[in-house]
Amino acid sequence: MKNKKKFNLETLSARFFSAFVYVFLYAPILIVILFSFNTSRRNITFEGFTVSWYGEMVRNSGLLESFVNTLVVASCSTAIAVVIGTLTAIAMFRYKFKGKGVIDSLLYIPVVIPEIVLGISLLASFAIASVPLGRISLVIAHATFSIPFVVFTVRARLSGYDRSIEEAAMDLGANRIQVLTGITIPIIFPGIVSGAVLAFTLSIDDFIISFFTTGASSITFPLKVMESVRSGIRPDVYALSSIIMLATFIIVIISQSAAYRSKKSGKD
Amino acid sequence: MEKEKEPPATEQPKPIVEISGVNKFYGSNHVVKDLSLVIYEKEFLSILGPSGCGKTTLLRMIAGFERQSTGTIIVEGENVENKEPFERNINTVFQSYALFPHMSIYDNIAYGLRMKKVPKKEIKDRVNKALVMVRLEGFGQRYPSQLSGGQKQRVAIARAIINNPRVLLLDEPLGALDMKLRKQMQIELKNLQRKLGITFVYVTHDQEEALTMSDRIAVMNVGNLDQCGKPEDVYDRPATKFIADFIGETNLFETVVEEEKGGVAYLYCEAGDMMGKSEGFDPNEIVYVSVRPEKTKCSVKPVENFSLGGIVRESIYLGNIVKTIINLTNGQAIKINTSVDQPAPPVGSIRYVYWDIKDAVMIYTHANDIINQIESVGLNSFNAAIPELLPKEGENG
Ligand SMILES: Nc1ncnc2c1ncn2[C@@H]1O[C@H](COP(=O)(O)OP(=O)(O)O)[C@@H](O)[C@H]1O
Ligand SMILES: [Mg+2]
C-alpha cells in the first residue's frame, strides 16, 4: 500500500514537471499565435478576434520581401552546405591522411565560436575579397556556418557503415559514380536530410551573422523583425511568425517520420 | 564425414588464375611473401591459415580491391594488373555479407545484372532461379535486416553467383554462423560448387572445414604458401612443421639424425631414440618427425630402437575413441588415440611409445642447407648467427 502511494507520488511529480517544461516552452509560442488574431494594434491585452493581420501581412511588401529573401538564402546556402558537407564527410571517413585529426577538430571551431566573432571575420573577409554585401555574401556566410553541421550529421550516419558494402557493389559491376549514387548516398541519406534540415533552420533563424554580412538590398526576415521592434511590433509580424511556426512544425513531423521509417528498414 | 571422390579427370585441368611471385607490403609489414599459386577451372580450392597470415589480402588482390606490390596475377590468360574489380570475371562473397541494407533481397540479388544492363524480363527469371537455388523462395521482398545470419549468407552467395562468374571468392563465409548451421552450409556450398561447375576459392582458418570441402588446400603461414595439395596430401605428408602442427592433431618431435641404414633413419631427441623413414638425410641433420595420434602406439616393454618411455597421465573417453596422454621424460605430452574396444593403459603406469616406420612423417628443416651454404661461402664468422636462422620453436604458433 505504502509503496503504491509513493509510486503514485513519483509519477505525479514527474508528470507535473514535464507539463511545466512544455508550458514553459510552448506558452510564448501560443501567445504569438493568439495575438496574431488580436484586433488591437498593441499586444498587451486581447481585445477581439480578427484575421485582418494576415491580410495586412500580405500587403506589407517589405515584410514579405524579407521573408522570401530569407527562404531564397536558406535554400541556396543549404544546397551548398549539403553538397560540400556530405562530400567532406565521405572523404574524411574514407581516406586516412596526415593532419586528419587537426582538420577534424578545426570543424568544431565555427560551431563553438561566438557568432559575433564569426560575423565580424566574414565581414572582414568580404571586404578584403571585395565581395559586395548582398544576397551572394549572405549565402556564402550561411553556407559557411552550416557546413560543419552537415558534416557531423552525415558522419554520424557513416560511423556504422561497412566499407565492404561499397566493395561488393564494385565487385558486381558498379563503377565509382554508380557506387556513390546508388549505394553510399542512399544509405547515408537520412544523415543528409537531417543535416539539410539543420542547415535550413539555422539559416532562417540567423540574425547576428546576417546582420554583419548583408546589405540594404538583401534584408532577411529576422533583420526586418528586429528593425520593426524599434517602432513596436505590429501584429502582422505575429501573423507571419505563426505561419512560419506552422510550416516548421509540419517539416519537423515529416522529417521525424522519415527518419523513423529509415531507421526501421535501414538497419542491417 | 564421408568424402566423395572426384570423378577421374580425363583432361588436363586448365589454369584459371595464375599467381606468380606476388608480394604485398603494408608499409614495412610484409604481408604476402613471394607467393605463387595456380588455381584451376572448376576446382574447390581452400586457402587455409591462422588469422592474420594474409589470406584476406591474397583474396583481395585476386578480386582487385588491393594491388600487389610486386608480382603478377593472371586471370583467364590475361594480366589483371590494371583491371578494376568490376572488370574482372570474378565475384566475391564477403565475410560480413555486405548486403545493401536499403534494398530488398530481390534488388540485392538483381544488382549485378542491372549494372550489366540485362533486360528486365531476364533479370526477373534469373533472380527467381537464384532464390530457388539458395532456398529463399518468397523472401524477395524482405530486407536484409529481416533475415537471419544463415539467410543473409545465402543472399550474399546468390548475389555473387547470379553473374555467372568464372571464379567465386569466399572469405570465411561461414565464420559468423553457429556450429550446426556451419556444417549444413558446408555441404550446401560444396553441392552448389559441383552443380555450378565454377571455381571456388574458399578462405578459412578452420582446418576441418578445409579438409572436408576442398579438392585442394593451399596452406598459408605468415605470408608464405607452405604447401598446396589434396587434403590427404596435406594431412598425410605435411611439408612443414607448421602444417603438421596446424592441420589435425599430431605428435611432433625435433630430432637429430644418427644414421640411415637399410631404408630406416635412426634418430634421437631429448626424450630418447626413435626410428623414421629414410629420405637421404645426412648424419646430424635436424629433422622433425610427425606421427598422428591414431598411428602412435605404446607398449609395456620397450620396442627395439625406440626409447620413448613415459607415464600415462590421462585416459579420456571420447565416444568413438579413447585418447591416452603419456608424459615423456622431457615433459612432452604424447597423444594416442585407440579404438574403444582396446584396453586402455592404466593411469600412472609406465609405457613405451613407438610407431610403424611408414607412419612417421619426416619434415626437412633446411637447417643444414643454410649451414652448408654459409660454410661453402666461407663466412665462418657468420656461424654465430646460425642459431637465429634455424626455425624457432613456437614461431609458427
Ligand atoms: N589495409 C591494411 N593496412 C595495413 N595492414 C593491413 C591491412 N590489411 C591487412 N593488414 C595486415 O596484414 C596482415 C594480414 O591480414 P589479413 O590478410 O587480413 O589476414 P587473414 O585474412 O589471414 O586473417 C595482418 O597483419 C594485418 O594487420
Ligand atoms: Mg581475413
Residue B346: domain span: 249-364
Distance in Å, alpha carbon of A268 to nearest chain B alpha carbon: 4
Taking a C-beta distance cutoff of 8 angstroms, is the pair B46, B216 a contact? yes
Q: Provide the residue range defining the domain that includes A217.
A: 62-267
B371 assigned to some structural domain = no
For position B387, what pLDDT does the model report?
A: 54
Q: How does residue B391 score in pLDDT terms, banded at 50, 70 and 90?
A: low
- One domain for residues B165 and B308: no
Query: Which residue has the CA at smallest separation from atom 3 of ligand 1?
Result: B26
CATH code of the domain in which A82 resides: 1.10.3720.10
Chain B residue numbers with beta carbons less than 8 Å from the beta carbon of A167 are 65, 85, 92, 94, 98
Q: What sign for the dihedral angle of Cα B117, B122, B128, B129?
A: negative
Residue A169 with chain B: CB contacts under 8 Å: 100, 111
A61 or B397, which is more confident: A61
Interface of A with B in 154-183 (CB under 8 A): 162, 164-165, 167-175, 178, 183
Same domain? For B71 and B165 the reply is yes
Position in ligand 1 atom list of the atom nearest CA B51:
23
Comparison of pLDDT for B58 and B343, the residue scoring more: B58
Residue nearest to atom 4 of ligand 1 (CA): B26
Cα–Cα separations (whole angstroms), residue B67 to A184, A188, B63: 23, 28, 10
Is A263 within 8 Å of chain B by CB?
Answer: no
| Structure confidence by residue, pLDDT tens digits, B83-101 | 888 888 899 999 889 999 9
B383 part of a folded domain? no
The answer to whether residue A150 sits within a structural domain is yes
- Taking CA–CA distances from B142, the nearest residue in chain A reads A265
Same domain, B232 and B267: no
Put simply, whether B165 touches A (Cβ < 8 Å) is: no
* B53 lies in the same domain as B96: yes
Q: Which of A161, A40, A30, A139 is nearest to A92 (CA)?
A: A161
- Whether B69 and B108 share a structural domain: yes
When divided into structural domains, chain A yields a total of 1
Phi-psi region of B352 (alpha: psi -120 to 50; beta: other; left: phi over 0): beta
pLDDT band at A267 (very low <50, low <70, confident <90, very high): very low
CATH code at position B97 = 3.40.50.300
* pLDDT at B128 (0 to 100): 94
- Sheet order of strands, B308-317 included: B297-299, B350-354, B308-317, B321-328, B333-339
Q: Look at A265 and B92 and tell me if their CB atoms are within 8 Å.
A: no
CA distance B238 to B232: 9
How many A from CA of B187 to the centre of ligand 1? 29
**pLDDT band at residue A268 under the 50/70/90 scheme:** very low
Do the domain assignments include residue B370?
Answer: no
Would you state the pLDDT for residue B376?
65
B369 within a domain of the structure (yes/no): no
ipTM of the complex: 0.75
pTM score of the predicted model = 0.77
B206, B236, B266 — which closes off a domain?
B236
pLDDT band, very low/low/confident/very high, at B386 (cuts 50, 70, 90): low
Residues B195 and B261 in one domain: no
Range A217-236 average pLDDT: 82
Q: Tell me the mean pLDDT in the region A48-69.
A: 85
pLDDT at A107 exceeding the cut of 90: no
- Above 50 in pLDDT, residue B397? no
Q: Which of A162, A166, A171 to mutate to test the interface with B (most CBs of B within 10 A)?
A: A171
Query: Coil, strand or helix: which one is A19?
Result: helix
Average pLDDT over residues A102-118: 88
